[in-house]
Amino acid sequence: MDGHRLDDASIHTVFGTSMHEAIQDWLDTLYNGSEVVAKTVDLHEGFKENFIKLFKESTEIDEDGNKLFLSDKKTLMEFYDHGCKILSYVQQNYKKIFPTKNVKLHSIEFPLEIEVQKGVQYVGYVDVITYNEKTGKYVLYDLKTSTRGWSSYQKNDPVKRGQLILYKKFFAEQVGVDLDNISVEFIILKRIISEEAPFPIPRVSKFVPPNGKPTLNNTWRMFERFITSCFDESGEYISEQNATPSKQNCRWCKYKDRKDLCPYGV
């Protein structure tokens, strides 16, 4: 609102972008190219090249001319190894994650642009959308990289779940599809699997949040409250806001340590 921006690049964000692009490129081969090629193509080398490229692009130089890397080499290679394991799992188990029978790839990074209030535009991008030609149903996928998977708290977080639920609503409106013909799934890509777990843990898992009409309506009302608290009737920012600091609210805030911008951060 005030033009303040902080660079939030980290080894995690670079890894997440690289994984998204590797899987999305591979899905294009799977659905639009050859399934045989998709099952056998080497995904590791392309992932490595892009991962290293993005890592280098995020390297900064301080006032003395020293390079400031996002991580040391050991950590970088650990992330690369985790990425290779995720990609191998996806490639070997793709039929459980991304069904292909009667299914076409509708789009990758599908743009959503909806006016949610006068002067306020919602813009988002759906990672992957597939379409089943037999049933006429769409699936909206969101790829999420995670260290060890999602906890019950994360799965029940209304903001996290709300992302895909809003995508469903806006996709239906923008494309003209009945809500009943759209489902949503989070694809959780886990970097680390506990070797001490009492049962096998998949490297990649699905999470389907409740996304029926009652949930969608509740999510939309929550989103409307957010919009009306941030924008006035003409679409201008409401600059006077009451701070609601807490350990949970401030946990992921980029500005929590910038007391010059927010003196309330916990």
CA-to-CA distance for 63 and 114, rounded, in angstroms?
Answer: 43
CA-to-CA distance for 141 and 18, rounded, in angstroms?
Answer: 17
The per-residue pLDDT for 197 is 76
pLDDT averaged per 10 residues, the chain (length 266)? 63 97 98 96 97 94 87 96 98 97 98 95 97 98 96 94 97 97 98 85 96 96 95 90 80 77 77
CA-to-CA distance for 19 and 11, rounded, in angstroms?
Answer: 12
Tell me the whole-structure pTM to 2 decimals.
0.91
CA-to-CA distance for 266 and 89, rounded, in angstroms?
Answer: 40
The per-residue pLDDT for 266 is 73
DSSP-based three-state secondary structure for 266: coil
Contact 59, 68 (CB under 8 A): yes
Cα atoms in the Cβ-side hemisphere of radius 13 Å centred on 252: 1
Q: Cα dihedral angle (158, 160, 165, 166), rounded to 10 degrees? A: 100
